[in-house]
Structure 1
């Protein structure tokens, strides 16, 4: 029995760690939209074709390319920050570590002789963003281990946080040597894997699309994406389907194109189906119409997916299958297009006339077909199995209309007679929720969420992602799910002591406040 318990605990820790890594990848990925916009606008078929006097707009492309050319370093910084709670020392250590690592790595890997007789690193051997992720993980781990280290008095200046960049640099030297030796054969194996996936053609794209959606509840889809978008294949030094697409690779875009029909057409149509079959259509419309528009315009799908993921998991499985078929169909039709942020209208408008975009009009036709498919398939399953999608009621909370609230309506209600803070005056953080008249709404909500999670003593760790809180708790049975739903959570996912609470795009702000409140030491802690 103890062996099973130990194995389960280890598995939960591994899952929690993987989720944390996946979350940390979102910080560096967040810089891509701005970089992609600059890169696209500065190209020769956009603003780059206009020369006004001495102004040449192709400098915009150079600005965007500066980000794409340094993605490994950006990932190193982002991962280190994400894993240490935005500690600047860890970020500095990541910069130092990556620069050292890359210099050593480039000298250890096989060298090729140029026409002038000089030698340079083999350009076909590259770790891409994986090298940055490894150094980011290393810097974060070393920061947690050594940020408060005490050294002998004569070395005291180098103790504490100053020691972290030093030890990271030394570790990076060792890692550079190790990976410089072992990576060339691994690189060959990954190339073979990539060719194997490409060899599978539409089947490979379909499997990727299916797994991309299926892993969302576990938060591991970012790790999968990091391989396909940033590692798969090479073109003029650029690696990954996303990087190669913006570098002009005519073969890139297969692993992004199929998301456009799903995000722009399929899921908005699914929203219409859920509204159509809701018992409380106004409630469903209030929740889903704005989410549908966000999905169409920007490709942000989580507000829709989390609206049915937990109450109707069969719909989520159907959604994952349809996403896989969308990628496969777009591959078969030789539709190629990429995105800097997500597969929404904004990225479609920016890239529809890019030189290596193909069959974009077919993409729109496929999207319209998928809108019809999503509408009728969702309608069938909702009616046939009486699924509890938004607006159809939720018995677990006792709320007759629904339990998925618009973000603007989430959180505890104001107590009658409370005084609002003075205009332009920063809210004052108070010790308890009862004294929280001058706290901002997110802090008030955070206190209520802590109570619903079993109190501060039940929380081992709390992290915020784009749409959810990631928790490691002492006792998952202490979590009050109906209370969390009444506060606006659209779902609670438990895997042993690893818990995810879907709170929407405010999740990161709530997590910051929860961690701030956890550090408070007041006599009222027992009541929180």
Structure 2
């Protein structure tokens, strides 16, 4: 595969994976607001929130937001199948859903039959997905099925079978073959995934025995495994089992970091212990409130000027749930798939955040279970200073971490020319005024790329009209697009061309599809 094909494939993958990512900010905001205003500490300060109307309102907000959060793996499966489909995209999307549910149903039933899953006593890594008890493969499972379905769809959506099987001709074959293949994927994962899960659980014991280094491994592993949906194998054993500690508080023996932390909060005279606090994500307070906010600013600053308004909207919507409630996924997913190296940098800095908070004994819990970073810092930190929260360290380390994230992200994005949101048209000049009406311009573009019969697919990103062509050799010279068609530039790739039109690209895509009479 040549360089242009690789470049085109990665751009396509980034575009496809951004579709479900863009759903996360609104879900994060809804869940964040709902969680914040039902937090017990806040209700103590504002008792008027403790009535049936507000309780129902904020509970409904959480439930609405969690529709996306709880089903993000399914959404990935559908969006990838849809995005990669050459044609008949609705069938591909339907097959993505069928494939994902088939994989989980077969995998769950197979593991139940083997006695690995006990439906009456689910353990970490096992869950019910739309009523199906199975392994929790996270986003990883959704991505696998999405890619499998898109491959099957593009290979077989025009298939002609023998007359006896004619009912399955064409697109009707796709759901059928998807169910069959997804069943084998489910059986395969039932052998592959449990050993991975067991290895992660064993790593918890190593983390627990290695002091400050263990704090780094805990923070780094919890972040780096997020894209695969395996991060809960890192923190859940510490949250609720004896791995997170066993202490006698108020005359009672308590085990699990979350339970111990809550018991300390509710017992006068009990003092925080950093060996417990590190497991309730004290490092997350630092990187969620300050670090990722700096990263968001770097993404905004490195975006092309023409795209900054759009990028600002995305970043603001992602930063709000991140900084306030610790819901980091909307922001992390905005760069995870288009620039994986940045996520690696972020995971490394997250691990270092846990080292720093361990060294200074910063005893403030970070997850949304404790109200999220901000509320936890106020109620568990400032208002419980007498328990040794050392809340003031956030005011010292926070700005430093903001600056570190900002400059590290900015340097990395520019150095490696990473295509973070808003940078796809980095090379654009200021948009020219289009002297042609759209009615005249679209036919001229079609003619310039070889006519209707030469265009296979019409897509668009932030600033580029992306055309997949039958023959790229008959496209007019680059200068023609700039001088006659008011384009800012043109990029020729192996399968077609990308004509740079700035913010008008999306409108041109729609009008060209209508002009060509294609989906």
Q: TM above 0.5, one fold?
A: yes
Task: State the TM-score, normalizing by the size of structure 2.
Answer: 0.56
**What is the deviation of 1:172?**
1.4
The aligned counterpart of 1:134 is: 144
Deviation at 1:136, TM superposition (A): 1.9
1:171-182 paired onto structure 2 within 5 Å: 171-182=181-192
Residue 233 in structure 1 maps to residue 231 in structure 2? yes
Cα shift readout 1:232-272 (whole Å, capped 9, x = no counterpart): 51169999xxxxxxxx99438587663311333x466779x
Aligned partner of 1:20 among 3, 12, 37:
12
Q: SS at 1:463's partner residue?
A: strand
In the alignment, which residue of structure 2 is the partner of 1:245? none
**Greater Cα offset, 35-44 or 473-482:** 473-482
Partner of residue 27 from structure 2, selected from 8, 31, 35: 35
Are the equivalent residues in 2 in contact too, given 1:459–1:471 (CA < 8 A)? yes
**Distance in 2 between residues matched to 1:517 and 1:458, nearest whole Å:** 14
- CA shift, 1:202, in A, is 7.5
1:388 corresponds to which residue?
Answer: none
Distance 1:30 1:293, change over 3 A: closer
Q: Is 1:184–2:194 an aligned residue pair?
A: yes
- Structure 1 residues 190 and 20, CA, compared in 2 at 3 Å: closer, same or farther? farther
What SS does the aligned partner of 2:429 have?
A: coil
- Alignment partners' CA distance in 1, 2:509 and 2:51: 48
- Structure 2 CA distance for aligned equivalents of residues 108 and 180 of structure 1: 7
Match of 1:413 among 426, 430, 435: 435
Quick one: distance in 2 between partners of 1:500 and 1:204? Answer: 43
Give the superposition deviation at 1:128.
Answer: 0.8
Q: Is the 8 A contact 2:26 2:317 kept in 1?
A: no
What are the residue-to-residue correspondences of 1:2-17 with 2, within 5 Å?
Answer: 7-8=1-2, 12-17=4-9
Matched residues in 2 for 1:511 and 1:178: separation? 41
SS in 2 for 1:43: helix
Please provide the CA RMSD for this pair. 5.7
Aligned counterpart for 1:260 among listed residues 290, 293, 311:
293
- The equivalent residue for 2:175 is 165
> For the residues of structure 2 that align with 1:203 and 1:483, how far apart are their CA atoms?
56
> Which digits, 9 at most, give the CA deviation of each residue in 1:501-524, with x for residues without a partner?
55555544444444555568xxxx
Q: Can you list the C-alpha shifts for 1:6-43, whole angstroms capped at 9, x where unaligned?
A: x53xx644553443233221222222122212211221
- Determine the structure 1 residue equivalent to 2:460: 464
How many residue pairs align between the two structures?
A: 395
| SS of residue matched to 1:58 | helix
User: Do the aligned residues in 2 keep the contact of 1:267 with 1:295 (CA within 8 Å)?
Assistant: no
1:95 equivalent among 81, 97, 101: 97
Contact 2:292/2:405 (<8 A) preserved: no
Assess, with a 3 A threshold, how the Cα gap between structure 1 residues 484 and 325 changes in structure 2: closer, same or farther: farther
Partner of 1:82: 83
Q: Tell me the residue number matched to 2:60.
A: 59
Q: Is the 8 A contact 1:330 1:363 kept in 2?
A: no
Between 253-262 and 32-41, the greater mean CA deviation after superposition: 253-262
Q: Output the TM-score relative to the length of structure 1.
A: 0.55
The residue correspondences of 1:200-219 to structure 2 (distance < 5 A) are: none
In structure 2, the residue corresponding to 1:403 is in which secondary structure? coil
1:365 corresponds to which of 394, 399, 406 = 399
Rounded to whole Å, the distance in 2 between the matches of 1:199 and 1:498 is 50
Shift of 1:59: 2.7
Whether contact under 8 Å (1:89, 1:164) holds in the other structure is yes
CA distance in 1 between counterparts of 2:312 and 2:467 reads 30
Q: Structure 1 residues 154 and 86 mapped into 2: Cα distance closer, same or farther (>3 Å)?
A: closer
Separation (CA, whole Å) in 1 of partners of 2:503 and 2:188: 40
Q: Which runs of 5+ in 2 are unaligned?
A: 44-48, 127-134, 238-257, 259-278, 320-338, 382-390, 416-425
Tell me which residue corresponds to 1:71: 72
Note the residue ranges of structure 1 that are not aligned, 5 or more in a row: 1-6, 209-224, 240-247, 275-283, 301-315, 341-349, 382-393, 397-401, 416-432, 438-443, 521-528
Three-state SS of the structure 1 residue aligned to 2:35 is coil
Find the residue that maps to 1:404 and give its secondary structure: coil
